[in-house]
């Protein structure tokens, strides 16, 4: 696919074949080559024209040169021949503006441009539409076209500043993530060691707990046995005391 066949929303004139031999070049090709050799017009320049001092032909040439400065003509090689295609200097009709709007919607849909967030495809398409608006307004008034060019350059500069800031923040986050990953191995090793210590302490705790429960059970059994012995001794002493009391009472009765 040639460069000239690339889909764009900017309206271009018909391409012109440029011969390597200056004598064989067409008048349109000579004109385009000559315009490219002219010093570039600064976007901040204001072209002053007056109805009395500038003819219709000179005004058309000024618009054409300005458009070629704002939107450089395309150049590409195809089948061994060089083609140049400059932007169209024909004013756009209302129908053509509507067609550009519809084509923009269709291209966004076909190229799957995101409706929100950062999307290079959507930005490229809208940049083409803005350039097409600059082309249309420049044809009606060169001064307004140059003013829109300054606005476009300011927008692009602001976008590039935000893009640089975004890339810097991404790089900063990546560095932080790498630093965090480098210490992650040490943290993982420390966590594994602590988990081993935790399991060992839990094992010791369970052993001590079982031992304490065993001691408590033995102690309760021992206290039960001792209590039973004390009760038996008390009952034995009570019986002995009763028998002795009866014997004393019997002896006392015989004495009387």
- Residue 47: its pLDDT value, please? 39
Contact, 63 vs 73, CB < 8 A?
no
Tell which residue, 161, 166, 118, has the closest CA to residue 174.
Answer: 166
List the pLDDT tens digit at each of the 256 positions of the chain: 344 445 788 888 888 887 655 454 555 555 555 555 443 444 444 333 333 333 333 444 478 888 888 888 888 888 888 888 888 888 888 888 889 889 988 998 988 888 887 888 888 999 999 999 999 999 988 888 899 999 999 999 998 999 899 889 999 998 888 887 777 778 888 899 999 999 999 999 999 999 999 999 999 999 999 999 999 999 999 999 988 888 888 888 777 6
Tell which residue, 93, 152, 97, has the closest CA to residue 144.
Answer: 152
Q: What's the token pair of residue 176?
A: 């932080």
- Residue 52: its pLDDT value, please? 36
Contact, 96 vs 125, CB < 8 A?
no
- Residue 205: its pLDDT value, please? 95
- Residue 20: its pLDDT value, please? 56
- Residue 26: its pLDDT value, please? 53
- Edge-to-edge strands of the sheet including 81-85? 16-18, 81-85, 74-78
Task: Report in angstroms the alpha-carbon separations of 243 from 75, 237, 238, 247, 253.
Answer: 138, 10, 9, 6, 15
- Residue 3: its pLDDT value, please? 44
* Phi, psi dihedral angles at 74 (to 5 degrees): -80, 145
Q: What's the token pair of residue 174?
A: 């990546």
- The span from the first CA to the last CA of the chain, in angstroms, equals 150
Contact, 39 vs 52, CB < 8 A?
no
Burial 156-177 (b: 16+ CB within 10 A, else e): eeeeeeeeeeeeeeeeeeeeee
- Residue 62: its pLDDT value, please? 79
The overall pTM is greater than 0.75: no
Contact, 148 vs 134, CB < 8 A?
yes
d(CA 67, CA 87): 7
- Residue 81: its pLDDT value, please? 84
């Amino acid at each position: 696919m040639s460069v000239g066949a690339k889909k764009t929303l900017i309206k271009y004139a018909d391409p012109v074949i440029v011969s390597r031999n200056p004598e064989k070049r067409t008048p349109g090709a000579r004109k385009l080559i000559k315009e490219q050799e002219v010093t570039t017009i600064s976007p901040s320049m204001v072209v002053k024209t007056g109805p009395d001092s500038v003819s219709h032909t000179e005004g058309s040439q000024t618009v054409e040169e300005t458009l070629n400065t704002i939107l450089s003509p395309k150049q590409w090689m195809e089948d061994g021949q060089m083609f140049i295609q400059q932007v169209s200097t024909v004013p756009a009709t209302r129908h053509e503006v509507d067609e550009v709007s519809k084509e923009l919607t269709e291209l966004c849909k076909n190229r799957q441009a995101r409706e929100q967030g950062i999307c290079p495809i959507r930005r490229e398409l809208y940049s083409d539409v803005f350039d097409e608006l600059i082309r249309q307004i420049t044809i009606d008034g060169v001064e307004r076209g140059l003013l829109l060019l300054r606005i476009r350059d300011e927008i692009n500069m602001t976008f590039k500043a935000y893009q640089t800031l975004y890339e810097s923040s991404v790089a900063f986050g990546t560095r932080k993530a790498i630093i965090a990953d480098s210490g992650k191995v040490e943290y993982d090793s420390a966590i594994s060691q602590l988990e081993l210590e935790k399991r060992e302490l839990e094992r010791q705790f369970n052993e001590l707990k079982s031992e304490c429960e065993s001691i408590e059970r033995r102690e309760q059994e021992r206290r039960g046995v001792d209590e039973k012995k004390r009760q038996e001794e008390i009952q034995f002493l009570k019986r002995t005391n009763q028998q002795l009391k009866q014997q004393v009472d019997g002896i006392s009765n015989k004495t009387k």
